[in-house]
Structure 1
Amino acid sequence: MIVPPTSSARPGPRRRTLLASLAGAALLTGCSDGGDDGAEGGRGAPSVSQEKRLRALAARESADLLGQYDEALAALPSLAARLAPLRAEVDRHVKAFGGAPRPTRPTQPSGSTAPSTPPVGEKDVLKALAAAERTLSDRRLGALVDAPAELARLLASVAAAGAGHAYLLTEG
C-alpha cells in the first residue's frame, strides 16, 4: 500500500511540538526547583521593587526584539508571511511583562533611509533574528534565579517561546 503524502509532512510539526513541549517542561521544572531555595540575602522572596525591575527589563528587551522584527519587515516585506506570527507573539510578550504595545512600523522604508545601506538577504535577516531570539532566551534563563516564582514561570515560558522562534527562523 502506498503511504499518502500527508503522512510524510506529519513528523515535522510533531517534532516541533515535542521539542517546544520538552523545552517548556524542562524550563518550568528547573524554575520550580530553583525558586524554592530562597533568595541570596537569606530572605524567602525577592522584593517587589526587584520584581518590577525584572519585569520592566523583560518588557524593554521584548520591545527591542519587536523593533528588530519591524526592521526586518521594513527591509524585506517579502518575509511578512513568515515573520508576522512570530512578531505578534513577541508583541504579546511585551504586554505580558507590562510593557506598552507597539504599533507595527510601515513596511516601506522612510525617505530618511541612507541610500548607502547595502541590500540585505533573507537568510541574513533570518539568521540575525534567530541569534537575537537565542540571546534573549539565554538572558531570560539566567534571570530565573533572581525572579519570584510567578515571574520565573513567565520568563521560562517566554524563553522557551524564544528558543522555538529561533528554531523556526533557522530550520522552519
Structure 2
Amino acid sequence: MRRTGTTRRGAFTATGAIAMGAVLAGCGDGSGPREGSAGTDAATADAQALAARTERTLRASSARTSRELLARYEHVVRAYPATVARLSPLRDAVRAHAEALAPDGKESLVFSRTRATDAAAAVKELAVAERRTADAHTATLLTASPELARLLASIAAAGAAHAYLLNELAKETSS
C-alpha cells in the first residue's frame, strides 16, 4: 500500500527550496544606486519622515481608542460604585496603555453614557468595548512599525484578557 500525503522528507525539501529561493531573490547584481549618493540620501530621508508621520498618526489613533475605553471605565465606576474594587485594576491597565501609546496624553477624556440599567449590564458593555478596542489595535498592527506593532500586540492581548475577565465579572455582579 502506497503512502499518501506529505512526508517529513518532502516537507524538509520544500522548506529548503523556499529558503534558498528567498536568499537568491535578495541578492542583486549591484547595479542599483550606490550608498552615499544624493538621490539615495534624499529618498531615505523622505521615507524616514513618512514613517515617522505614519507612526505618530497610528499612535494618536490608538491612544484615542484607548482613552475612549478609559472614559467608559470611568463612567461605569462613577455610575456603579460597587464595581470600583474589581474594575480599578483593569481601568489602571487601560490608563497605562493609553499613556504608553501617547506619553504626552494632552487630550481629555470624553465620557460616554451607558445604556445599561444595572451594574452587570454595564460590565458586559465594558467587555464588548474591550473586545472592540483589542480588535482595533490588532487591525492597526498591519501598518505599524515593528516597535509599535509589538506594543499594540501586547495591548490587544491584554484587552482580550480584560474582555474575558469582564464577562466573568458580569456573571458575578449584582445590581
Q: What range is the shorter-chain TM-score in? A: 0.5 to 0.7
Q: 1:146 maps to what in 2?
A: 143
Q: Which moved more, 1:156-165 or 1:118-127?
A: 118-127
2:165 to 158, 168, 171: 168
Deviations 1:121-155 (A, max 9, x none): 11101110000000110111111110000000000
Q: Secondary structure at the match of 1:120?
A: coil
Distance 2:166 2:106 in 1: 23
Q: 2:90 maps to what in 1?
A: 86
Matches within 5 A, 1:92-131: 92-99=96-103, 100=105, 120-131=117-128
Distance 1:89 1:166 in 2: 13
Task: Work out the number of aligned pairs and report it.
Answer: 119
What are structure 2's unaligned runs of at least 5 residues?
1-46, 170-175
Matches within 5 A, 1:1-172: 47-99=51-103, 100=105, 120-172=117-169
Q: 2:34 maps to what in 1?
A: none
Deviations 1:89-142 (A, max 9, x none): 0000111001527899xxxxxxxx9xxx98721110111000000011011111
* Paired residue type of 2:69: L
Distance 1:87 1:68 in 2: 9
Distance 1:118 1:80 in 2: 19
Q: 1:36 maps to what in 2?
A: none
Q: Secondary structure at the match of 2:130?
A: helix
Asked if 1 retains the 8 angstrom alpha-carbon contact of 2:116 and 2:125, the reply is no
What are structure 1's unaligned runs of at least 5 residues?
1-43, 105-112
Output the aligned Cα RMSD: 2.8
Q: 1:20 maps to what in 2?
A: none
Runs of 4+ in 1 over 2 A off after TM superposition: 101-104, 117-120
Q: Relative to 1, partners in 2 of residues 1:71 and 1:61: Cα closer, same or farther, differing over 3 Å?
A: same
TM-score, with normalisation over the residues of structure 2? 0.61
* Paired residue type of 1:97: L
* Paired residue type of 1:64: E
Pick 1 or 2: higher relative contact order, CA cutoff 8 A, min separation 6. Answer: 1
Distance 1:98 1:118 in 2: 29
Q: Relative to 1, partners in 2 of residues 1:102 and 1:125: Cα closer, same or farther, differing over 3 Å?
A: farther
Q: Secondary structure at the match of 1:47?
A: helix
Q: Relative to 1, partners in 2 of residues 1:62 and 1:75: Cα closer, same or farther, differing over 3 Å?
A: same
Distance 1:47 1:103 in 2: 27
Distance 2:54 2:115 in 1: 42
